[in-house]
Amino acid sequence: MTQQLPPAGPAAEPAVQDVAPAAVSVASQWRLMWWRFRKHKLALAGLVVTATLYLVAVFAGFLAPYDSSHLDPEYTYAPPQRLHVVDTSDGWDWGLYVNGYTAEQDPETLEIRFEVDEDTKVPVELFARGPSYTLFGLIETNIHVIGPADPDGPPMYLLGADRLGRDQLSRIIHGTRVSMSVGLVGVAVAFVLGVTLGGVSGYLGGKVDTVIQRMVEFFMSLPTLPLWLGLAAAVPTDWGPLARYFMITVVLSFVAWTSLAREVRGRFLSLREEDFVMAAKLDGVGRRAIIFSHMLPSFTSHLIATLTLSIPAMILAETALSFLGLGLQPPVVSWGVLLQEAQQIRVISTAPWLLLPGLAVVVAVLSLNFMGDGLRDAADPYRR
């Protein structure tokens, strides 16, 4: 085995053997991480679902049959319709349609009850014309992936309608935008705060470190939810939706940055002791280059995992705040805002589909958690 090797200098020891296959040998950290992550089936599923959700958020206008404010008071609490793919009413044939409704008024309570009418058909088509919207904020169009063939005819409620006859499906799809982005923006704010303060604390050490650590400890000792509530309530009600949205994310990140700062500081402290950092110092690498080319790359993967895992908490918090009416306010649509409709048990028992935005929350949070766990496990591919 060793004889085949080229002679390696006068005093060469034939010690060279390949310990790893070539592909592994030249694989960078991110490739190794991906290989490890890939083995984690749940995490992979989480990644797919999360990616899908963000795609839905981007293409919300195209995917939703209606826009978020479309209402039709004639169809209060209309139940979900089943989408038929095959038309058997007249022999066997392909054909997309939903059944229409029959409305009945309760003689005593005057409540209107809808029944799905098996006999009427509302034709549905793919790439239907509907309300116009702008894709990516640039392209104005009115094509939706699915919608009733006749935009002025009877409406289509695949997931039912709410108190004002608004389409749940469209509103959940539109809500994806705010709900999923609140986490991202909040985490971004927390990231800036956490990494800066944690990095300063961990790298400088000494008095600065002590002060920042006490600060972090103080913030961690505050009760999260009441603080959120208090701060959210203090956001003036007359602010525009955008300003309010931004303030809420700031409020949310107010709590999240502390754990990030701790993580960053801990990593910095342990990395400072690592031999390879010492070696880089002795190689003449300057302070800034050590931080940016040796230390930061060593924990960016951990940081990404931690960030991913803190997004779900933000989504849950936004949902709770909005549900209580302290977070985002209509006409902004988020899953929490949608759930405001479902505060009464009586309402829920008439229209259980009003809880569906909650299901969206659970799915989003679950998949982000799975993905984050997988990332965390894969974050250090060099662990021995």
- Please list every residue from 125 through 144 that binds other proteins, using CB under 8 A: none
Q: Find the binding residues for other proteins in span 59-88 (CB under 8 A).
A: none
Nearer to other proteins, 67 or 162 (CB): 162
Residue 152 phi/psi, 5° resolution?
-100, 0
Residue 3 phi/psi, 5° resolution?
-70, -25
Residue 177 within binding range of other proteins, rule CB under 8 A: no
User: To the nearest whole angstrom, how small is the minimum distance from the Cβ of residue 136 to other proteins?
Assistant: 30
Nearby residues of 123 by Cβ (< 8 Å), 6 or more positions away? 95, 96, 97, 148, 149, 150
Here the tokens at position 202 are: 């961990």
User: To the nearest whole angstrom, how small is the minimum distance from the Cβ of residue 333 to other proteins?
Assistant: 17
Here the tokens at position 300 are: 């960016």
- Rounded to a whole number of angstroms, the CA Rg of the chain reads 28
Q: Return the half-sphere exposure (C-beta side, CA atoms, 13 A cut-off) of residue 297.
A: 11
Q: Which of 124, 252, 339, 379 is in the footprint of other proteins by CB under 8 A?
A: 339
Question: What residue type is assigned to position 267 of the chain?
Answer: R
User: Of 84, 116, 173, 202, whose CA–CA distance to 360 is shortest?
Assistant: 173
User: Of 81, 64, 80, whose CA–CA distance to 175 is shortest?
Assistant: 64
Residue 243 within binding range of other proteins, rule CB under 8 A: no
Q: Which of 69, 99, 224, 329 is in the footprint of other proteins by CB under 8 A?
A: 224
Residue 175 within binding range of other proteins, rule CB under 8 A: no
SS3 label, residue 113: strand
SS3 label, residue 228: helix
Residue 9 within binding range of other proteins, rule CB under 8 A: yes
Strands lying side by side in the sheet with 84-87 = 84-87, 93-105, 112-135, 139-148
Rounded CA-CA distance 245/189 in Å is 13
Residue 164 within binding range of other proteins, rule CB under 8 A: no
Q: Which stretch binds other proteins (CB under 8 A): 87-95, 135-143, 258-266, 356-364?
A: 356-364
Q: Find the binding residues for other proteins in span 286-305 (CB under 8 A).
A: 286, 289, 294, 297-298
Nearer to other proteins, 123 or 358 (CB): 358
Calculate the dihedral angle through the C-alpha atoms of 295, 313, 43, 52, rounding to the nearest 10 degrees.
-110
Nearer to other proteins, 17 or 88 (CB): 17
**Site string (25-64) toward other proteins, x via CB under 8 A:** xxxxx--x--------------------------------
Here the tokens at position 19 are: 């310990």
Q: Which stretch binds other proteins (CB under 8 A): 81-89, 146-154, 166-174, 339-347?
A: 339-347
Residue 369 within binding range of other proteins, rule CB under 8 A: yes
Nearer to other proteins, 145 or 362 (CB): 362
Q: How many residues at the interface with other proteins, by CB under 8 A?
A: 86
Nearer to other proteins, 13 or 119 (CB): 13
User: To the nearest whole angstrom, how small is the minimum distance from the Cβ of residue 103 to other proteins?
Assistant: 23
Q: Which of 4, 88, 109, 221 is in the footprint of other proteins by CB under 8 A?
A: 221
Residue 188 within binding range of other proteins, rule CB under 8 A: no
H runs (alpha helix) in the chain: 22-25, 29-39, 41-58, 60-63, 168-204, 206-221, 224-234, 241-272, 275-282, 287-289, 296-323, 335-339, 345-350, 356-378
Rounded CA-CA distance 229/343 in Å is 18
Q: Which stretch binds other proteins (CB under 8 A): 12-20, 47-55, 67-75, 245-253?
A: 12-20
**Site string (260-289) toward other proteins, x via CB under 8 A:** --------------xxx-xxxxxxxxx--x
Residue 12 within binding range of other proteins, rule CB under 8 A: yes
Cis peptide before 331 (omega within 30 of 0): yes
User: To the nearest whole angstrom, how small is the minimum distance from the Cβ of residue 225 to other proteins?
Assistant: 3
Cβ contact 309:373 at 8 Å: yes
Here the tokens at position 335 are: 């899953």
